Amino acid sequence: MVKKISIKKVKNRIYIIILSTLIFSIITSSIGCNIKQQLFKIPEKTKEVVNIRSNINISPINDVIGNIEEEFLYDIKREELITSAFEGIIKSTDEKFPGLLSTQDKDELEKVKDKYPEDSLDSIVEIIRKLIEKKDELKSDDLIMYANESIVKSLQIKDKYAYFFYPENYKIIMEDYSGHISGVGMYVNQIDEKIVVVKPIENTPAYRAGIKADDVIISVDGQSIESKNIDEVIALIRGKTGTKVTIIFFRPETNKKFTKELIREEIEIPNLIIEILNNKIGYVRYIRFIEGGANRLKNELEKLSDQGIEALILDLRGNTGGLLSDTVNLGQLFINRGNIVIVKEKADTITYRGKDTPYAQFPLVVIVDKYSASASEILAGALQDHHRAKLVGNTTFVKGKVKMIFSL
């Protein structure tokens, strides 16, 4: 049975909630994240560094606030962001160094805000200086990190996908789009505040341990994942090859919890599974939108054409998303004119269009399911709008959003 997927029409519609995921640190890494449904667009712009007159360089906080003011889709006041930074420093310091701050200390620190204009960062400089004087172990870089984390979390009122990553977690999250990770080998998604297994990857620790689709993750190494976002959970599961991770799952099928102790391995994430079915029909399982994925599919299509296939099935079931660039490139394999997707940003509108392709008339069927999300939905929606493919399957995840990553 053919069903429309439950996302808005791609043509001439807006698909975006801008995410400001902000990191303090310079990290070079390939793009990636094993089990993440999100769709990334990484801006390539040089950010202006503002030097504050102080021996404490808080330009990273200034950059974060500047990025939000410039790029965040929703209006937000600068003074609200500065207040979030100020309160985040006190709160995180108190949590990470229990007993360091007395009630009187906190009251005195709170009074610092009243000395400066609400839209000034001078209060941040002073509170960082006072805390460093209070305890030698406190470092300005860490306190700045606390501030930026608090700023980003404050955005979640308007954008639930606003996440902050510390450098070590950022590096882990970004590995997946390179196609190689160190982990246990399972795709997951965030559904109704739960982290749910989409499927284990064959011949990986999770697969061999009997993990199944729809299993729900309860805790990782004794840490409850309640209230954690999917990327935080991924970072907990991933780690150095050969190390152990203990995960507690809940299986709805049996209504029981169970524990698995898994050893992390180097895993090559498959992107394409290709077969030739009877009657000269090509079958492509597209697992993830990763860097270079569409180019690989193009090469495989050339081989399939040489073998005489007359139609193609594109299977996007369980494909939880990936790179916007790969989504557009893949769409351009089958759509030769018209819009693939229009992205509405705060200040700009970006239109991605089809281009000349030998496969513009190639018969195509796309299969989707409840785990087809984000990039999968944008591609499927474009193919449907242009009458380039029949969509078969179930209602999709409903996440047609583009996220932006800002790295400091």
Task: Catalogue the active-site residues.
Answer: 374, 385, 399
257 contacts 268 by C-beta, under 8 angstroms: no
Residue with tokens 């729900």: 216
From CA 159, how far away is CA 157, in angstroms rounded?
A: 6
Token pair belonging to 398: 């409903």
Residue with tokens 């980003």: 152
Token pair belonging to 253: 């099928």
Q: At what angle do helices 59-71 and 78-96 cross, to 10 degrees?
A: 130
Nearest 5°: CA angle at 192, between 186 and 197?
Answer: 15
Distances in Å between the alpha carbon of 290 and those of 78, 279, 304, 364?
35, 30, 21, 22
Sequence letter at residue 352: Y
**Close Cβ partners of 231 (under 8 Å, ≥ 6 residues apart):** 33, 36, 163, 165, 169, 173
From CA 283, how far away is CA 19, in angstroms rounded?
A: 34
Nearest residue to 265 via CA among 230, 239, 247, 235: 239
Overall residue count recorded for the chain in this entry: 408
Q: Name the helix (H) or strand (E) containing 312.
A: strand 311-315
Helix (H, G, I), strand (E, B) or coil at 219: strand
From CA 236, how far away is CA 300, in angstroms rounded?
A: 35
From CA 291, how far away is CA 249, in angstroms rounded?
A: 31
